A and B are shown apart, each in its own frame.
Chain A
Amino acid sequence: MAAVKRPLSVNIASKVFPAVGDRPDNLVLKNITFQVEPGSFVIITGPSGGGKSTLLNIVSGLDHDYSGSVDFGGDHEPRIAFVFQSPRLLPWRTVYENIALALPKDDPRLANIPEMLKRVGLVEAANAYPEMISLGMQRRVALARAFVLEPELLLMDEPFVSLDDPTAHALRELLVELWSARPTTVLFVTHDRPEAVMLGTRILRLSSGAATIAQDVPVRLSVADRADREKVRTEQRRIFGEA
């Protein structure tokens, strides 16, 4: 398939949320400029309410109300998948249907769904409704829905929050496995520092207030290193400079 050859180029001069009631205009993003090489896994981190999700919404095309530009670097609109902070599944459709609906009717990729269900461990739950399975499983459905699309750009907004540690860790490993099997450009928002270091190949840190890019560093870990908690911790200290 045609991968995006030139880098993704994001250039946001400013993003303002208009005044609500007696609260004044809120400038959330300012002079955010960066490029993303195809196939890299970029972590976007920073303080809460610092515009990380807004940044993803702009890149995804959900939010058009900003000044600046997003250039996907290809000759066509890339296939974008988005894994949201909540799973955002259709409660009245089964697990299988939720995944299948991400694809057009009669799409050849529909044939990959059984294999995908097996990889994310949801074969038995295929005909269950989302409200009948656990949050961890719902998040796996959201991952499967994103990956079955074979996206050229994958956006993830804290997809593993409100899970207990072992479940979140298992899901991170699943994500690494899915991503290694089919590398794609990823923008991944999180405020969890170990998660950032374990997953990313590069970390963009936004400042607080009207967010600008405060830090842009590569993560110097091999795939094998990422399974080693001690190495992850050392790298985390190097990047974020704390205990």
Chain B
Amino acid sequence: MRQVVNAPTRGPRVGRLGWSLISLLALIALWELAALIAQSRYLPGPLAVFDVMVREAEAGELWGNIGATLIRVAFSFVIAMFIGSAIGVALGRYPKADRFFDAWLIFFLNLPALVIIVLCYIWFGLTEVAAITAVAINKIPNVAVTMREGTRSLSKDLNEMAHIYRFGWWKTLRHVTLPQLAPFFAAASRSGLALVWKIVLVVEAFGRSDGVGHQLNIAFQLFDVPMILSYALAFIVVVQIIELAILQPLIARANKWRR
């Protein structure tokens, strides 16, 4: 018996970036087509939206608002990751604490974002602190659950090895524990960023006088769809840049030892 295998020769290859580009262009074309058919001021075409974006950018409004939103995202993201990780690691480590606080975690996981936001504004006033607290509280339970899972799966074998070779707490943390938690932290970060920036917009619409959310709220009152779309698109681009330029390289670096 003879087995002959010829690896197929490949044609010109379209990279991942190429595919994303083609797919995005198709979406824009579809949008243009829909706008042409609708002929309505409530469904502007891509070019009209782009015009508004340029105008807002030139007036300095766009970047000011995006900047204000990004600062809120950064603060609430960092606070939520820090507190959520601390809670998650503690619960993963101490089963008794976990048994007690598990019900609390489920309560906060299921508390609607809107309820947290409204209550924070009522209790702490329409302040920056209230806004950031509300966003952080929304995200903390998710981070805690992910990090708890990571802590539970820490290898007892490697801990024993570290003990035998007298690593001490700092070496153990740095070389044994943190690398095991890194994938869980990365997962929590990615889903965290996506969740946090959406909630920040809601918080801004409710009780802040700048930021993308505030701008969207005004545009909504004026039924100014081109404005809504231009802010939304600009912000999506910024978040994607953060994902591609910061998060993904970090994750790739943390994973280079994998086969």
Partners in one complex: yes
Residues of A within 8 A of B (CB): 60-62, 80-82, 84, 86, 88, 90-93, 101-102, 104, 129, 131-132, 145, 149
Chain A CB within 8 A of B161 CB = yes
A61 CB contacts on chain B under 8 angstroms = 163
What 1/0 mask marks residues of chain B from 127 to 171 whose CB sits below 8 Å from any chain A CB?
000000000000000000000000000000110110111110001
Chain A CB within 8 A of B258 CB = yes
Structural contact, A129 and B158, CB atoms closer than 8 A: no
Structural contact, B259 and A92, CB atoms closer than 8 A: no
Can you identify 13 A-B contacts, CB atoms within 8 angstroms?
A60-B164, A81-B165, A84-B157, A84-B161, A88-B161, A91-B258, A92-B179, A93-B257, A101-B167, A129-B257, A129-B259, A132-B259, A145-B165
Structural contact, B258 and A131, CB atoms closer than 8 A: yes
Tell me the B222-259 residues at the A interface (CB within 8 Å).
256-259
Chain A CB within 8 A of B55 CB = no
Residues of B within 8 A of A (CB): 157-158, 160-161, 163-167, 171, 175-176, 179, 256-259
Contact among A62, A90, A149 with B158 in the assembled complex (CB-CB below 8 Å): A90
**CA–CA, A183 and B19, complex, Å:** 63
Tell me how many residue pairs across A and B have CB atoms closer than 8 Å. 44
**CA–CA, A84 and B258, complex, Å:** 22
> Given A101-B165, A101-B167, A131-B259, is A88 in contact with B158 using a C-beta cutoff of 8 Å?
yes
> Given A90-B179, A93-B175, A101-B165, is A131 in contact with B257 using a C-beta cutoff of 8 Å?
yes
Nearest chain-B residue to A79 (Cβ)? B166
Please give the distance in Å from A19's CB to the nearest CB on chain B: 18
A145 CB contacts on chain B under 8 angstroms = 165
